[in-house]
A and B are shown apart, each in its own frame.
Chain A
Amino acid sequence: MAKKVFMLSEIVKVEQLKKYFPVQKSFLEQLFTRELSYVKAVDNVAFSIRSGEIFTLAGESGCGKTTAGRVVVRLLEPTSGKIYFNGKDITKLRGEKLRLLRRKMQMIFQDPYASLNPRMKVVAAVGHPLGIHELAKGGEKKKMVLEVLEKVGLTPPEQFVNLFPHQLSGGQRQRVALARSIILRPEFMVADEPVSMIDVSLRTTIIDLMLNFRKELGLTYLFITHDLAVAKYISDRIAIMYLGKIIEMGSKELLFLDPKHPYTQALLLAIPVPNPELERKRLGLTGEVPSAIDVPTGCRFHPRCPYNTDKCSKEEPQLIEVEKGHFVACHLMK
């Protein structure tokens, strides 16, 4: 068996990751057909994240980025493929070993109104990870909670400890969620659209907090978003997903200055720019994103692509490195 070679600084590596969800069959269908159809939410995705990096999975809704994020932290089980954390294969980890892994890998969620238990006070919610992993009790636990609340900008922390989530605003709740996930000093964090449900004037604060933690705690991020402007602000490298596949991946500079895939180009041209004096062009895309159950043949993007050729409907393009650090999956790249 070939030895797996990891760059010393690769903290997370994902290979040939697939997550298919079986589609519920109606009663008659169950009787008469044997085949199952699947929602191919994540279909053969591969990437690696370097320690200290902010790697973004970007794309529109339904592209599979959220599912991919959850699979990486094992909140969902992969259908096939491998996930490596710090060089170790964690794909099939279970039970106690998986729980120990959770100390190092954390996740924050999109909806600050739903990610906190409405019946737990802030101090209980934020301190809970310490209790679960038996790292601190009583007075020491409370001290650590106060410390971390201060870190996320909820000052004075004493004012917040005995509050329930419904007594906090959306921005405050998201900070509590952040506090809860960093109290264990994780090494890696998946952030699933952490600011999309927060008021515009407060987004920068949360984003800045996350950037601070990268510096202070050496955190590595997998950032998931549909907002490419935010992605541009915060990321080091970005992968654009479409219908379960990565269609372009590269550093922020390469992707935004020289987008090669037609979908990426269309996306960038569609994003609103806060400048009334700018003339915007559009890359005309036809139709809408098809369902992930009945995926188009060949290149998934071909029905909408203005450069569609014969080959595109027959053969699926592979993700190739077209220049150093810049990967594109498109037949036009030859």
Chain B
Amino acid sequence: MPLLKVDSLAVDYRTSRGTIRAVEDVSFSLKKGETLGLAGESGSGKSTLGLSIIRLVPYPGVIVKGHIKIDETDIVKLREHEMRSIRGRKAAYIFQDPMTSLNPVKRIGAHFIELIRTHEPNIGKEEAFERTKTVVKNLGILSERINDYPHQFSGGMRQRIMIGLAIALNPDLVIADEPTTALDVIVQAKILDLLESLRKVYGMALILISHDLSIILERCDKIIVMYAGHMLEYATSIEMHRNPKHPYTQGLLQSIPNIELFDQKLVAIPGSPPDMFNPPKGCSFWPRCSYVKKICRVKEPPLIKVGRNHFVRCFLYGKKGVHVERNRKS
């Protein structure tokens, strides 16, 4: 039984300039202990998707369609106070910017203790403190520093604290939104390694959101490639690496510098991401696609199963289409 099951999710932003469909028809599932990577550029809807899983989409965002089932409970239908008991305990979110996500006038230890005692009010101060010490130790932070303030920590350490706050209550699902964007490469690797080890210890499922496809491919079991709110390809990472089907995925893989290769021929994807107030008709990627056909400009392609764990949204595939193999040079 999957821990998380998302069905035909759609999320709108109702702004004064018009309504944006930030997420359109997304469906996937996640088992306990699995990692899912949400890859995409700015405007792809990956952050919105992540936020909607714990119902934290900011105003004027609204979930307009679909179901999100965490352990069989459809959280789209829950009331706010029922959601509050899910957030933190069953599902936790790690925000993008560790610099501003911590309360500057509160000690680190206090952050944890407040979190624990809010969700488990029967726990005494001593026990909460002991649990805090354990979590902090697992983060690789010296326990003497429990009484320090956020500004006394570097960016990397603060991000660890954010991760710690997310896993302190041992949730089943953790959603990490660009956890390493503001960090240097070495710290980034350490943070991701930390997430990995904590995951193994606590057995959580992880959704990793990033625009860095290299990180996603390196660390996730399954990957969803998002573009302009649509799910273009959904497969295991191994499948996606060996057999990328969607022209966008292929284009992305050919345009990112791979540190392992010499004399790479990088190929750019022409054009630029669409204006979400005026998205293209038909397939959202057609203006940039080198395989575009007449039908792509008119109809939106359905999600088609092309392998055991592989789905693509593209008219090149399916009964009418032709499979296109990427011309691989590496």
| Direct A–B contact in the complex, CB atoms closer than 8 angstroms | yes
Bound complex: CA A280 to CA B218 (Å): 9
Bound complex: CA A266 to CA B190 (Å): 11
In the assembled complex, 25 residue pairs joining A and B whose CB atoms fall closer than 8 Å, in A order, are A172-B272, A200-B255, A201-B252, A202-B272, A204-B269, A205-B268, A228-B185, A228-B259, A229-B259, A233-B266, A253-B262, A268-B259, A270-B185, A270-B188, A270-B190, A271-B214, A272-B188, A273-B214, A274-B213, A275-B258, A276-B218, A278-B260, A282-B193, A288-B156, A288-B187
Q: Give residues 216-242 of A contacting B (CB, 8 Å).
A: 226-230, 232-233
- Given A270-B185, A289-B184, answer yes or no on A208-B256 (Cβ-Cβ < 8 Å): no
* CB of A267 closer than 8 Å to a CB of B: yes
Bound complex: CA A277 to CA B214 (Å): 12
Interface residues of B (CB under 8 A from A): 41-42, 154, 156-157, 184-190, 193, 211-215, 217-220, 237-238, 241, 251-253, 255-260, 262, 264, 266-270, 272-273
Chain A residues closer than 8 Å to B187, beta-carbon distance = 288
Bound complex: CA A226 to CA B187 (Å): 13
In addition to A200-B255, A232-B257, A233-B264, 4 A-B residue pairs with Cβ atoms within 8 Å of each other are A201-B272, A227-B257, A269-B189, A272-B188
Contact A199 B273 (CB under 8 A): yes
Contact A229 B186 (CB under 8 A): no
Chain A residues closer than 8 Å to B266, beta-carbon distance = 204, 207-208, 233
Closest to B182 in A: A61
Bound complex: CA A102 to CA B94 (Å): 46
- The minimal Cβ–Cβ distance linking A132 to chain B, given in whole angstroms, is 31
Closest to B267 in A: A204
Contact B269 A274 (CB under 8 A): no
Contact A199 B259 (CB under 8 A): no
Closest to A209 in B: B268
* CB of A316 closer than 8 Å to a CB of B: no
Interface residues of A (CB under 8 A from B): 60-61, 169, 171-172, 199-205, 207-208, 226-230, 232-233, 253, 256, 266-278, 280, 282, 285, 288-289
Chain B residues closer than 8 Å to A282, beta-carbon distance = 189, 193
Chain B residues closer than 8 Å to A171, beta-carbon distance = 272
- Given A200-B211, A233-B266, A282-B189, answer yes or no on A273-B218 (Cβ-Cβ < 8 Å): yes
- The minimal Cβ–Cβ distance linking A63 to chain B, given in whole angstroms, is 9
Chain B residues closer than 8 Å to A278, beta-carbon distance = 218, 260
- The minimal Cβ–Cβ distance linking A175 to chain B, given in whole angstroms, is 11
Contact A60 B258 (CB under 8 A): no
State the 6 A-B residue pairs at the shortest beta-carbon distance, nearest first: A270-B189, A60-B184, A204-B268, A276-B237, A229-B257, A272-B214
Contact B217 A229 (CB under 8 A): no
Bound complex: CA A285 to CA B185 (Å): 12
| Residue from the set B217, B220, B252 with the largest chain A CB neighbour count within 10 Å | B217
Closest to A206 in B: B268
- The minimal Cβ–Cβ distance linking A181 to chain B, given in whole angstroms, is 21
Which residue of A172, A201, A226, A274 contacts B251 across the interface (Cβ within 8 Å)? A201
- The minimal Cβ–Cβ distance linking A253 to chain B, given in whole angstroms, is 7
Bound complex: CA A61 to CA B189 (Å): 15
Contact B218 A288 (CB under 8 A): no
Bound complex: CA A270 to CA B186 (Å): 5
Bound complex: CA A256 to CA B79 (Å): 55
Closest to A207 in B: B266
Bound complex: CA A285 to CA B193 (Å): 13
Contact B217 A201 (CB under 8 A): no
